[in-house]
Amino acid sequence: MAHDHHHHIDPEAGDAKVAFAIALNMALTLAQIIGGVIAGSLSLIADALHNFSDAIALIIAFGARKIARRPADAQMTFGYGRIEAVAALVNYTTLIVIGLYLVYEAVMRFFEPSAVAGWIIVIVAGIALAIDLATAALTYTMSKSSVNIRAAFLHNVADALGSVAVILAGTLVILFGWTWVDPAATLLIAGYILWQSLREMPAVMRILMLASPPDLDTAAVIDTVQSTPGVASTHHVHLWMMGEHETALDAHVVLDPGAPADATRSAVKARLAAAHHLHHSTLEMETPDHACRAPLLIGH
């Protein structure tokens, strides 16, 4: 299966948008906390807490983007690109902690209900929804090409849905006096936060664990190598994601007797690029007489 890992993106694009989104979320967090305290609304404070995490997520994402642009050096010979996966992991972990905390607070509020000012909830949450949508729009395009920015983007999407839940809760309090809806909305917000985070976490872990891309068949890659004219077999194969859009292959290749090493290596690389869009491959060529003894096909 073809897998294109070459996305030509201006590394400087989007910095101003991310910075503006950070400023919006910080201002919104302050407004929501004040409104939540005045209204006595747990769901509004929960939304504020999540919004604050949005701002922190964007700050982490912004810093990671800057660090990721550094060129490779003697200390980081593969470069700094994987810092974006680390930032995404931090953001998702933070979301999980926040989600669990909100579940706890909501359950406690069911046992100890308090008065809630519905109109303040609706007004503040309405402003929050508008800002959440604006922030999500600022980061949407970048989220398609960066696991790091996508984590921050999902923070904002979750918060926008949270604002909708808070508006609904405030409306029901105004119309029917149902104060229990406030912690119920908090549980919905927490549930969505946990679901999104746990769903996205495996993709980040794959990058950090040096896993092969989920949509690239390792067996097919090995078959491409071994079916190249001049190749007798291959072993010690490593196929991993260097970053979200970069895949690397490292392998030992045993030549057929008399096959030219340089020409065969070039042929293997060309076939890998054509069949799988693998443009970063390191191949150690071995003659039958000097091949590894009892090697593993994958790994060492």
Q: Do 46 and 189 touch, CB atoms closer than 8 A?
A: yes
At position 45, the amino acid (one-letter code) is I
CA distance 286 to 284: 7
Alpha helices (H) in 144-180, listed in sequence order: 147-176
Cβ proximity of 276 and 3 under 8 Å? yes
Distance CA 218, CA 226 (A): 12
Name all domains of the chain by residue range, CATH numbers in brackets: 15-208 (1.20.1510.10), 218-290 (3.30.70.1350)
Handedness of CA 257, 260, 262, 267 (dihedral sign): negative
pLDDT higher than threshold 70 for residue 133: yes
Whether 116 shows a pLDDT value over 80: the answer reads no
Choose from 10-24, 199-213, 225-239 the range with maximum mean pLDDT: 225-239
Q: Which of 19-23, 67-71, 152-156, 280-284 has the least mean pLDDT?
A: 152-156
Query: What SS3 class is residue 4?
Result: coil
Phi and psi, residue 165, nearest 5° = -65, -40
Strand-strand pairing, 246-255 and 231-243 = antiparallel
Pairwise CA distance, residues 125 & 48, whole Å: 9
What span, in angstroms and rounded, lies between the C-alpha atoms of 217 and 29? 45
37-80, pLDDT tens digit by residue?
777 766 667 767 767 776 777 787 778 778 888 888 888 887 88
Q: Is 255 helix (H, G, I), strand (E, B) or coil?
A: strand
The structure tokens listed for 243 are 């970053």
CA distances from 233 to 112, 228, 276, 296 (A): 69, 10, 19, 12
Q: Is the pTM of this model over 0.75?
A: no
Residue 110 or 118, more confident:
110
Closest CA to 241 of 199, 204, 275, 296: 204
What is the predicted pLDDT for the residue at 32? Answer: 74
Lowest mean pLDDT among 107-116, 231-240, 245-254: 107-116
Element (H, E) at 67: helix 42-68
**pLDDT grade, residue 137 (50/70/90)?**
confident
